[in-house]
Structure 1
Amino acid sequence: MADRLDLLLGVVLMAGPVFGISSCSFDGHMGFFHFCNLTKIPQVLNTTEKLLLSFNYIRAITTTSFPRLEQLQLLEIGGQFTPLTVDKEAFRNLPNLRILDLGKNQIDFLHPDAFQGLFHLLELRLFACGLSDAVLRDGYFRNLISLIHLDLSYNQIGSLYLHSSFQELNSLKSLDFSFNQISILCEGELKPLQGKMLSLFRLKATNLYKGVSVDWEKCMNPFRNMWLETLDVSENGWTVAITGNFSNAIRGSQTSSLILTYHIMGSGFGFQNIKDPDENTFSGLDRSSVVRLDLSHGYIFSLNPRLFKTLKELKLLNLAYNKINRIADKAFYGLESLQILNISCNLLGELYNSNFDGLRSVAYIDLQKNHIGIIQDQTFRFLKELHTLDLRDNALKTISFIPNLLTIFLGGNKLVTLPNVNFKANYIHLSENRLENLADLYRLLQVSQLQTLILNQNRLSSCNPNHTPPGNHNLKHLLLGENMLQLAWETGFCWDVFKGLSHLQVLYLNNNYLNFLPPGLFSDLTALRGLSLNSNRLTVLSPGSLPASLEVLDISRNHLLSPDPGVFASLNFLDITHNEFICECELSTFIRWLNQTNVTLLGSPADINCMYPNSLLGVSLYSISMEDCDEEEVLKSLKFSLFILFTVTLTMFLMTILIVTKFRGFCFICYKAAQRLLCNDHPQGIEPDRYRYDAYFCFSSKDFEWVQNALLKHLDTQYSDQNRFHLCFEERDFLPGENHITNIQAAIWNSRKIICLVSRHFLRDGWCLEAFSYAQSRCLSDLSSVLIMVVIGSLSQYQLMKHQSIRGFVQKQQYLRWPEDVQDVGWFLKKLSQHILKKEKEKKENNRIQLQTIATIT
């Protein structure tokens, strides 16, 4: 349905050709060779299931063109740029072929036995191949016992005399002869098809019976003893006389669906030279059991009395796109089984009480895109089965004639107000009218059965106080876009318009000039899942203003300056593009949320950009760095923390002096006891010469290229004989197939030092953070600082301390930073080598290693 919530944008377009496979490729099951300049059939494996060879220069198909391909089911060789020759038994090596497409080729020669051996073929496409009558007359389709669909459209066939072998095609269901030049079709031509049931027989645009003299008594019924589900004889330019003669000729032949579109029956508007169909036109169909009749796209001006009187079983009648201006009394007499009537896109101006007499079973009437300005009150009242009425795009100014229907389409009319009609519908479409007063909205919302209400593109702008809140517990979809609700709500009234709509799921308020949302506007919408507020003038969304149940929000094209991320906490999808963000420190919280959120953001990131200051105009929020703002916040926190720390330290120091002075004898005894305890329990670490690696380099796989160029090539022995270290890193030294945790643990415990290269990718990589934690465990076990942390890139102290495992390390130990200046890189590598070579000395009182901090770049 076109009015469904369209917030889930981002329809993914498939890149590449059919099935996502690039041109001129083969994957073992499918060969895609469109536009590959092939001159012969390429050799493929016997596992091939689909082979697409269209749009090449293949000249001939012979018995040796294909190897034995027993699994091939689809073969396309259409649209060759050179004439094509198809020899005898050309496809005999394809025994299980299901679909063969030779369409749009210039076939110079087609052997009568070309298709022999295709016992499992279901569909054969031979459209636009320049074929003549001989292809039907000379038995080209013998032994195709599984054939269901045969497409011979757009050829040069002038006669449908069928070879007797068609009688053996017991699976045949569909024949397409459209766009040939078949001027006459008589009984003897289709004799091999007698006794068969076909789902489709298409003779579209063949000039059948047009401009020729037909002796109908001799020609007789071409479809005798045949059952056709759909017979398409459209676009043949049939007049009333031809249609009447044809109907009489096929009398008794069973045809469920008859398509007669693009005919020339009817006088048209302002002409009288061509007759409109009358009660005799379709009289010959009285025993054909026609269920669907399509007479659209013609020139019928008047529906004459008893026009369809013989079509007792008709259920669908399509009269769209004619010139119908008049419906005579009893025009639908006899259509007692009709369920769907389509008279859209005609020239009706008025409807009278008697227009639809006789339609006892009609359930759907489509009258859209006429010029209807007035309808008598009783026009639809006696259609007891009618549940859907479509009157869109007419000129109605009142709807007092509306009966109790389930679905009503009234969009695109001239309604200024709604009369006091007792609606019982569950779907009401009133968009593109001229409704102004919200009183009409309150009245519609009180329809108890209503589930969908569409009021887009009206003029809702005025509100009177003291309306009764709707309290509708069935409404699920409410569309109020492209109105002027701001004018109504700024008066302070009608803020309760959504009260009691506890089951509403989708709400559109787009394009309503809103610059604020009334307090508590959505408080009763506990089931709301989708909300559109796009193209308004909102500058702020307050926390708690949106329902907690909301999942999809479109707030694009507003004037939001510094949104609070807490407003979007419950969402799954958000469109916040084309707003006017002020990119100053107040926006830092939102930018941080934007880069970390799990909410799916719709639209292009380039459309989420700054409007101020001018130096950042048009810059995407994803490219903005707010580190300076973060450092200011951290500095404030740090100052307060330092004050608290200093106060606590001073207090503890004074208390310690007091205690030591007062109880110095007892403190000395405790110190000696602790010293003996620590010496006896000190664990022994692994001897340095027993380590397998000098160091384990832990880094994100996304940083591998940089690490390799900056560090590994200058340190690892396998990169250069001049290097001195045997290093360990995941891409080379982890055992394939081994548990990743086991690999990490082995690398940490078999290396003298662990060097963690912390970058933005490192902080987002769960395995890297896990390895950092294991390295800290090694430090605690050995009571030595074997962990060396090197910060890469513009990571601030605040960003490092957000991660618990790294925060503990940063608070207790210093770390290295990659130098800003290129000339410092050699010195840095020397210092790093010294740290790797440095042997840790056990200290009974303190096991920390002081690392010198190196200047960094952001």
Structure 2
Amino acid sequence: MGFFRIPWVPKNTRILDISFNAFAQIQIGDFRHLSNLQDLNISNNKISQIQEGALDNLSNLTHLNLARNRLKAVSSGMLHGLSSLLVLRLDDNNIKDIEESAFSMLQNLKVLNLTQNHLHYIDRVKPVLASPCLEELYIGSNNFDVFNSYEMSTKPLSLKRLDLSNNPLATFQLTDNIFPSLDHLDLSYCGQNGTMTWNVTEKTYLTSVQTLYFMDVHMSAQSVADVLPSFKNSLNKIRLNRNVELNKTKLLLNACSPTLRVVRLNANRIKHLADHMFDPCSNLTELDLGENEISKLSQRMFRGFTQLKKLLLQINKLTRITNSFQTLSTLEFLDLSRNSIKELTCDDFANLTRVKTLYLYSNKISLIDSCLFKDLTSLEVLKLGTNNLLRIGDAFSNGPHSLKDLQINFNKLSKIEKYTFRNLSQLTSLTLQDNQISEIEGYAFEELNNLTSLLLSSNKITAGTLTRHLNVFSGMPNLQQLDLYANSISFTDNKLRHPPFKELKQLRVLTLHSQRRGIRKIPSNLLQGLSSLEMFYAGNTNLGHLNPDTFKFSPQLWFLDLSKNALSEDNSIPAETFHPISRLTKLILSRTQLRSLNFLLNANLSRLSTLRAWGNEIDVINKTLIQSLPRLEVLDLHKNTFTCDCHNEFFIEWAMKSNSTQVFYFNKYICSYPRSLRGMSLSAFNIESCTLNIDFICFLCSSIVVVLTLVCSFVWQFLRYQVIYAYYLLLAFFYDSKKKQNGSRFQYDAFISYNTQDEPWVMEELIPKLEGEQGWSLCLHHRDFEPGRPIIDNIVDGIYSSRKTICLITRNYLRSNWCSSEVQVASFRLFDEQKDVLVLVFLEDIPAHQLSPYHRMRKLVKKRTYLRWPKPGEDTKIFWQKLKMALETKEGHKPETAIL
């Protein structure tokens, strides 16, 4: 899966396979939580270092595979903690050195493989013998050229199996009996320089060896004559494959003994078998002569065998048999496959009454006579595949009656006739795949009461073949497996008149996938009668829709394969389809063009444990879907078009942390949307950006409230007048903008701003003079403000509806909040419009220092000329004349102009 570091796996894992990745080292802590681990496969990586103590916690580990990595040495701490280890594979590394105490902790180790490393000298292997229970040691392909037993040990070892193959041994010296229990010795492909010296000081040192692999030894005949007698008295099995240069008769003479039972002479380029060649090996029970060039057989060459049970003659050049096995009355297994046999006669297998297995596949047989198997009364397995058979006819009319497994695949059969196999009542498996069968007559399989497996795949069977005859599959009451894939079956009807499988009550596995033209649709009653059906393969059949009643006849179904179909439409798979098969545990929907798995929400698949839907167009897996599959153990969704956004937040977190479900290849799930994240790994999407942190939000909100409270308190305490002023300015600004847009004309000549305590002067002096005598229109709050309306709105409306604003200033006026508001609004209009709109009239003599607390009024007084009400006894005519002049001033005058 391309991992560079050890991935997280559930802590209760017992078997972990992380082979074929890209690990460069094993670090401390990588397996800290995996104390239950029993089998660990880390082969085929790039590991060059294992930190000391990195495997300390694996005290229950029994199998460790570190093959095909880049380790250069085995240190004392590398294997520390593996007290229960039984099997260790270190083959195909670059190991040159093993520390003396490296294996001292492995007290239970039984199997060690160090094949294909760079040890070079046999004494480098000595540290592994510190494991007292070691039984199997594989040290082939290490470029040893000398084997001296004293360099390994001088004491007896517990080894039962030793592999020294593929080493250029020039010397093999055994001076002490260090292998008292050795049962298997592999010297294949040794002595490649042809001059190996064999020095076993005592003939009894290797008497326990029963199996010797002596293939392609590249030795001289004399050297072989020295080696083989060392095993002659105990040897039970010997492999002499590929010893092309050695004389086979002499080879067997040196190797054979009364105890020898198995001889393999594969690939020795043997062309002729001498009549007395096997006389020294008369007690053989198995003889393998495969992969040679034998073209003729005779009865005399096998006459010496009295116990032979297995004879292998595969991959030779035989064209005929000519009754060569008549003397082999004990024979039970005969392999004549992959020859050039064209014809078989009735006597070719005469007297072979004990033969149980006969291989005749990959020959050129075109016809089988009914007499061929007359003497094969014990035959149970017959393989006739890959021949030139055109028809079967009556080939089995005389048996063999005990036959259980018959294979006639890869022939040229076009038709299965009625009662073809009726005399094979014991048959349990019948293979007819890869023929040209297009017609099956009714009762073709009649009386096959014990048949459990029928393979008819890769033929030319059509829907008509299955429905033309009513009893195509009759006579097989115990059939459990029926293969019909890769045929030409196609249906157009929604319902069949004669369902073809209705008599197969015990059928458990049905395969219909990969039909050449596509099955197109599954009729609603196609599976009628299959009440025991457990597995159904319907992939790659061009299905576009499933009928809701498809599985109503098969309630026991637990495995369903619908892969490689065209189920892209939203209603292609109705949820109701799965209701009759609530026991479904494995569902395959790969490469079906699915856009969503939402149909599973209401499918009631509470037992589903495996879901494979890779290679589709699924973009989102939501929480509800996962929760609807409570027993899911395996999920494979790679090669889908995932969206990298918060809709997949739950799926991403669940896939990485779930202890109960393994999401296959999750690190290879790629984002397809949005475009900015296309190509990014789904597992790399930052799901934290999707999480709403309630604690943080509450903290933030409470902090904001506290800060705002402090700010508001500070402003109100020290800046409340400025805030109020800003508020009024804002209202005035909006009002002024509105007036400008409407282009309205003034309703009053002047707005009178005064304190209510000064109202007598206004009523007695101001109004009679300005309105009575001079004819001005005045706006007075006690008279012209609109009742019920907010005061500030009345003030703003009054000021902006008047050409001028006259402020009657007294000490009471300065202390009034509303008067202050009126001055503020009038001031804003003054400076906003840049017009002479404000007239200040002091009714009392107020010194400048008393105006200091009233910042706005003091600022206006400093910048503008104002009117003062005359003192008692002074003439008032000048005051009224100046006030009249102020009211008559044109609006274009700047506000800085003095008013006299």
> TM-score scaled to structure 2, two decimals?
0.59
Partner-residue secondary structure (3-state), 2:611:
strand
Is 1:602 aligned to residue 668 of structure 2? no
Q: Could you say if the C-alpha distance between residues 605 and 351 of structure 1 is closer, same or farther in structure 2, counting changes exceeding 3 Å?
A: same
Asked if structure 2 preserves the Cα contact closer than 8 Å seen for 1:175 and 1:202, the reply is yes
Equivalent residues in 2 for 1:48-59, closer than 5 Å: 54-55=115-116
Asked if structure 1 preserves the Cα contact closer than 8 Å seen for 2:316 and 2:338, the reply is yes
Structure-1 separation of matches of 2:255 and 2:167:
28
Q: Which residue of 1 aligns with 2:635?
A: 574
Q: Which residue of 1 aligns with 2:556?
A: 503
Partner-residue secondary structure (3-state), 2:439:
coil
Is 1:25 aligned to residue 82 of structure 2? no
Work out which of the residue numbers 126, 131, 153 in structure 1 matches 2:215: 153
Partner-residue secondary structure (3-state), 1:521:
helix
Q: Could you say if the C-alpha distance between residues 12 and 391 of structure 1 is closer, same or farther in structure 2, counting changes exceeding 3 Å?
A: farther
Equivalent residues in 2 for 1:287-686, closer than 5 Å: 289-354=330-395, 357-400=398-441, 401-403=444-446, 404=448, 405-417=451-463, 418-419=466-467, 420=470, 421=472, 422=474, 423-424=476-477, 425-437=479-491, 443-444=500-501, 447-458=504-515, 459-462=518-521, 467=525, 470=528, 472-486=530-544, 489=546, 494-514=547-567, 515=569, 516-540=572-596, 541-542=598-599, 543-569=601-627, 570=630, 571-583=632-644, 586-587=647-648, 597-598=658-659, 600-625=661-686, 631=692
Asked if structure 2 preserves the Cα contact closer than 8 Å seen for 1:89 and 1:116, the reply is no
Work out which of the residue numbers 297, 310, 315 in structure 2 matches 1:257: 310
Q: Which residue of 2 aligns with 1:95?
A: 157
Give the aligned length.
600
Partner-residue secondary structure (3-state), 2:608:
coil
Partner-residue secondary structure (3-state), 2:204:
coil
Asked if structure 1 preserves the Cα contact closer than 8 Å seen for 2:575 and 2:602, the reply is no
Structure-2 separation of matches of 1:191 and 1:183:
12
Asked if structure 2 preserves the Cα contact closer than 8 Å seen for 1:90 and 1:114, the reply is no
Q: Which residue of 2 aligns with 1:755?
A: none
Structure-2 separation of matches of 1:628 and 1:62:
61
Structure-1 separation of matches of 2:205 and 2:403:
47
Partner-residue secondary structure (3-state), 1:327:
coil
Deviates more, 1:257-266 or 1:433-442: 433-442
Q: Could you say if the C-alpha distance between residues 360 and 463 of structure 1 is closer, same or farther in structure 2, counting changes exceeding 3 Å?
A: closer
Asked if structure 1 preserves the Cα contact closer than 8 Å seen for 2:337 and 2:360, the reply is yes
Q: Could you say if the C-alpha distance between residues 126 and 188 of structure 1 is closer, same or farther in structure 2, counting changes exceeding 3 Å?
A: closer
Work out which of the residue numbers 299, 302, 309 in structure 2 matches 1:247: 302
Asked if structure 1 preserves the Cα contact closer than 8 Å seen for 2:533 and 2:557, the reply is yes
Give, as a single letter, the amino acid of the residue that structure 2 aligns with 1:528. L
Partner-residue secondary structure (3-state), 1:428:
strand
Structure-2 separation of matches of 1:63 and 1:505:
55
Work out which of the residue numbers 223, 236, 242 in structure 2 matches 1:173: 236
Asked if structure 1 preserves the Cα contact closer than 8 Å seen for 2:622 and 2:647, the reply is no
Work out which of the residue numbers 263, 278, 284 in structure 1 matches 2:327: 284
- Structure 1 residue 369: Cα displacement: 1.8
Q: Which residue of 1 aligns with 2:42?
A: 15
For 1:574-633, what per-residue CA distance to the aligned partner results, in whole angstroms no more than 9, with x for missing partners? 2233333445555556556556655524332344343333223233443334666655x9
Deviates more, 1:375-384 or 1:21-30: 21-30
Work out which of the residue numbers 78, 85, 89 in structure 1 matches 2:140: 78
Give % identity: 22
- Structure 1 residue 10: Cα displacement: 10
Q: Relative contact order, CA 8 A, sep 6+: which one is greater? A: 1
Give, as a single letter, the amino acid of the residue that structure 2 aligns with 1:25. V
For 1:718-770, what per-residue CA distance to the aligned partner results, in whole angstroms no more than 9, with x for missing partners? xxxxxxxxxxxxxxxxxxxxxxxxxxxxxxxxxxxxxxxxxxxxxxxxxxxxx
Structure-1 separation of matches of 2:114 and 2:522:
67
Asked if structure 2 preserves the Cα contact closer than 8 Å seen for 1:25 and 1:33, the reply is no
Structure-2 separation of matches of 1:456 and 1:377:
27
Partner-residue secondary structure (3-state), 1:234:
coil
Asked if structure 2 preserves the Cα contact closer than 8 Å seen for 1:531 and 1:552, the reply is yes
Partner-residue secondary structure (3-state), 1:548:
coil
- Structure 1 residue 126: Cα displacement: 0.9
Structure-1 separation of matches of 2:42 and 2:646:
40
- Structure 1 residue 449: Cα displacement: 0.8
Asked if structure 2 preserves the Cα contact closer than 8 Å seen for 1:162 and 1:190, the reply is no
Q: Could you say if the C-alpha distance between residues 24 and 382 of structure 1 is closer, same or farther in structure 2, counting changes exceeding 3 Å?
A: same
Structure-2 separation of matches of 1:608 and 1:70:
45
Deviates more, 1:519-528 or 1:547-556: 547-556
Asked if structure 2 preserves the Cα contact closer than 8 Å seen for 1:495 and 1:518, the reply is yes
Structure-2 separation of matches of 1:594 and 1:60:
50
Structure-2 separation of matches of 1:446 and 1:378:
17
Asked if structure 2 preserves the Cα contact closer than 8 Å seen for 1:161 and 1:190, the reply is no
Asked if structure 2 preserves the Cα contact closer than 8 Å seen for 1:477 and 1:504, the reply is yes
- Structure 1 residue 128: Cα displacement: 1.0
Structure-1 separation of matches of 2:183 and 2:162:
8
Q: Could you say if the C-alpha distance between residues 32 and 615 of structure 1 is closer, same or farther in structure 2, counting changes exceeding 3 Å?
A: closer
- Structure 1 residue 346: Cα displacement: 2.1
Q: Could you say if the C-alpha distance between residues 54 and 462 of structure 1 is closer, same or farther in structure 2, counting changes exceeding 3 Å?
A: closer
Asked if structure 2 preserves the Cα contact closer than 8 Å seen for 1:233 and 1:260, the reply is yes
- Structure 1 residue 478: Cα displacement: 1.0
- Structure 1 residue 523: Cα displacement: 0.6
Give, as a single letter, the amino acid of the residue that structure 1 aligns with 2:294. W
- Structure 1 residue 88: Cα displacement: 7.8
Q: Which has the larger radius of gyration?
A: 2
Equivalent residues in 2 for 1:698-709, closer than 5 Å: none
- Structure 1 residue 104: Cα displacement: 1.3
Structure-1 separation of matches of 2:673 and 2:124:
73
Asked if structure 2 preserves the Cα contact closer than 8 Å seen for 1:446 and 1:471, the reply is yes
Partner-residue secondary structure (3-state), 1:222:
helix
Q: Could you say if the C-alpha distance between residues 283 and 156 of structure 1 is closer, same or farther in structure 2, counting changes exceeding 3 Å?
A: farther
Partner-residue secondary structure (3-state), 1:615:
helix
- Structure 1 residue 397: Cα displacement: 0.6
Asked if structure 1 preserves the Cα contact closer than 8 Å seen for 2:172 and 2:196, the reply is no
Asked if structure 1 preserves the Cα contact closer than 8 Å seen for 2:356 and 2:381, the reply is yes
User: Unmatched 5+ residue regions in structure 1?
Assistant: 1-8, 267-275, 643-858
Deviates more, 1:346-355 or 1:231-240: 346-355
> TM-score scaled to structure 1, two decimals?
0.62
Structure-2 separation of matches of 1:435 and 1:333:
38
Asked if structure 2 preserves the Cα contact closer than 8 Å seen for 1:136 and 1:161, the reply is no
Work out which of the residue numbers 210, 231, 252 in structure 1 matches 2:287: 231
Cα-Cα RMSD: 4.1
For 1:177-200, what per-residue CA distance to the aligned partner results, in whole angstroms no more than 9, with x for missing partners? 1111377655996488544263x3
User: Unmatched 5+ residue regions in structure 2?
Assistant: 1-14, 20-40, 45-63, 703-900
Give, as a single letter, the amino acid of the residue that structure 2 aligns with 1:478. F
- Structure 1 residue 326: Cα displacement: 2.5
Structure-2 separation of matches of 1:614 and 1:58:
54
Structure-2 separation of matches of 1:68 and 1:318:
45
Structure-1 separation of matches of 2:612 and 2:533:
21
